[in-house]
Every structure is written in C-alpha cells, then in structure tokens.
Amino acid sequence: MAGQGTPQKRFQQRFQRGLRKGFPAGVKRTIVVHSGKGGVGKTFVAVNIARALADNGLKVGLLDADIDCPNALKTLEMDGDLIANAEKKIIPLEKDGLKAVSMAPLLGGEHEALLWRGPRLSRAVEQLVHDTDWGELDFLIVDAPPGTSDVPLSILQVLEGAEMLLVTTPQDTAVMDAMRSAKMAQRLKIDVIGVIENMAGVIFGEGGGERLAKELGVPLLASILLKAEFAKGARPESISNMANQNIFQ
C-alpha cells in the first residue's frame, strides 16, 4: 500500500506511479545489456548482438536507453531525425534490417548536455519504450547505462519481463560492479541469461567473466579480446557465434 515501507521504497513507488509496464505490442523478447560499471563495453556488446541477430534473419530493435549520453547510433553509424507517425508513435531509424531508437537525435547536437533528474529520466525511458512503433520484433536489445539507480532501474521496471545479459571486463572492480547489477536483477526477479567478458587479454587479464558466471550459476556466453580493430568498428566473431546459441533461438 502507498505510504508504507521504508523511505527508499516510498520514493521508488512515487517514481513508478503511472508508468506503463510490459513489452510493447509485437515484441517477443527483451534483453537488457547491463553492468554496474561504466566503460566496460555495454554499448559495443549490445550493438553487436543486435546486428548478429538481425544477420540471422530475426526482427531486431535496439533501444539506446542511455538517456543523457546516448552513443549507440554513433557506434551503429546510423543517423537521421526521429519523426512520429499518424498515431503519434516514434518511427525507429533503420539500417541493414535493424531498427533503433535513441535520445541522440532529440538532443540537438553531439555535444549537448541533458540535465534531467529522476522522474523525467524514468518518463523518457517509458516513452522511448512505449511510444515507439516497433512493429513485430523477435528481440528488443536494450543498451543500458551503468549503475543500479534511476535509468537502469526504470528500464527494468518499465520492461517488466525483460532478461538481463551482464557485461564485465576481467578486473575485480568490474566483476564487483556487475555483481551489483545481478543483485538488482535478483531483487526485481529478472533472469540473468549469461555473462560476456569483454576486453580480455594481456592488458586486463582474463577470467573475471568466468568467475562472475560461476558465482551466478549462469553461462559465460563469450569472452572478447581487447583489440584495436574492435575500437575501430570491427565485429567480434564470438558475438556472431553466440547469436547462434540455443539461448537466442
């Protein structure tokens, strides 16, 4: 009942009030790519999973849910304006059979800063999810910002029924922060379908992904090397292979 519980719970309830929940009509599965830590390659992984699934002939949408620093479209080399259809729904941008929606075209310039607080951020997430004409999608892949508060929390609450895929780099600090994401998932009763280790190799070492996967009792789906060619846009083969695994069928 409203008004009960800890101050933290009451605050969350206020945030959530009136938010539309569940998948948009026509969307079969939603996978949120997440990690508590920034810069570990969530966008890189989300974009490449979306591309790999689309290459397999599936209908895929990518939601760039990084509201204040959206960069998935840049990684996808996609641009254009977001316009609305007659039903006032956003028409996603489209490239190579992949649909994408992001705040980027709405920010009015690559270097513009968005200074919004919690409730507006939650509302923006909800609108990008539910006021977009996604059509029929086998997968909606969500590129989430780091952390376990405002936006990531709103994504998981708005997209009730979503699954989570964790990204970590091999270092202990990244594993620790990815574990925080897993805890958030657990509290919200969200399934973690697997772990991807990114940036493995001589510089950061390896094994953090395996440790995290073991601790959570979920599969390590891929380990991707830190390589200059990936920073320049090359696609990792391990993600294409991963898209063929049963978990994505």
Ligand X SMILES: Nc1ncnc2c1ncn2[C@@H]1O[C@H](COP(=O)(O)OP(=O)(O)OP(=O)(O)O)[C@@H](O)[C@H]1O
Give the binding site for ligand X (CB under 6 A): 38-44, 66, 145-146, 198-199, 224, 226-227, 230-231
Query: Binding string, 41-80, against Mg ion, x = CB under 5 A?
Result: -xx-------------------------------------
Q: How many residues does the chain have?
A: 249
- Cβ proximity to ligand X, 24 vs 33, nearer residue: 33
Are the C-beta atoms of 60 and 138 separated by less than 8 Å? yes
Binds 169: which of ligand X, Mg ion, none (CB < 5-8 Å by kind) = none
Element (H, E) at 168: strand 163-168
- Looking up tokens 């970590």 gives 168
Rounded (5°) CA angle 77-95-139: 110
Least distance in angstroms from the C-beta of 23 to ligand X: 23
Expressed in angstroms, the distance from the first to the final Cα of the chain is 40
Residue whose C-alpha is closest to residue 225's, from 249, 244, 206: 206
Classify the phi-psi angles of 98: left when phi > 0, otherwise alpha if psi is within -120 to 50, otherwise beta. Answer: beta
Binds 26: which of Mg ion, ligand X, none (CB < 5-8 Å by kind) = none
- Cβ proximity to ligand X, 29 vs 74, nearer residue: 74
Binds 205: which of Mg ion, ligand X, none (CB < 5-8 Å by kind) = none
Binds 38: which of ligand X, Mg ion, none (CB < 5-8 Å by kind) = ligand X
157 binds Mg ion (CB under 5 A): no
